[in-house]
Amino acid sequence: MSNEAQRLALRSLLNLLDIEPLEYQHPPLMTCEDADALALVREGTRLKNLFLRDNYGRRHILLITTPERRVDLKRLSQQQAMSRLGFASNERLARYLGIEPGCVSALSLVNAQEGAVELWLDDTLRDAALWQCHPLDNRFTWVLSLPDLMRFWQHLGYQPKWITLCD
């Protein structure tokens, strides 16, 4: 399915859930640094989305934090009592989230098979009222409230795990 078709299907689901995001269109953004270079101004909290896997490739995690946060994967692995965490490959990204690099966001879970990906949220985001998310396409940013995202995740069968990242 094309990025546009995925985005439109996601839009339909959000409509069913009575969720109306703010929408921005922009050049493709692969990283937070790309957005910085363009000096984009968008409402909401900017997010860094990391797609991780354990050493055995059995557990996959979508970790959402802020771009300023440094994530020590070794320390996080120890903190969560997991075998070594690392970044998932582009192939795993396509298989588990059905997206291309640069399109990972809180909305990507719409493509995940039930139970295949865990959702971890940085505790520092608890007070973030609005979250910036790519709608499966890095040429767009949709801004959703945290309660709307929680309703979206609940609809998909996700209960986020709030974690404290150690600097």
| Phi, then psi, of 61 in degrees rounded to 5 | -130, 135
**Burial of 74: CB neighbours in 10 Å, binned 0-12, 13-18, 19+:** exposed
Distances (CA, A) of 32 to 19, 40, 138, 148, 154: 25, 10, 11, 23, 27
pLDDT in tens, 78-133: 999 998 999 999 999 999 999 999 899 999 999 998 889 999 999 999 999 999 99
User: Model pTM?
Assistant: 0.93
Q: What is the pLDDT, as a whole number, of residue 1? A: 64
Query: What whole-number distance in Å separates Cα of residue 143 and Cα of residue 149?
Result: 10
Q: Which amino acid is at 81?
A: A
The boundaries of the domain holding residue 56 are 3-163
| Other CB atoms within 10 Å distance of the CB of residue 35 | 20
pLDDT in tens, 61-87: 999 999 999 999 999 999 999 989 999
Q: Which amino acid is at 93?
A: L
Q: What is the pLDDT, as a whole number, of residue 113? A: 86
pLDDT in tens, 31-59: 677 777 777 778 899 999 999 999 988 99
Q: What is the pLDDT, as a whole number, of residue 167? A: 63
Number of domains in the chain: 1
CATH of the domain at 114: 3.90.960.10
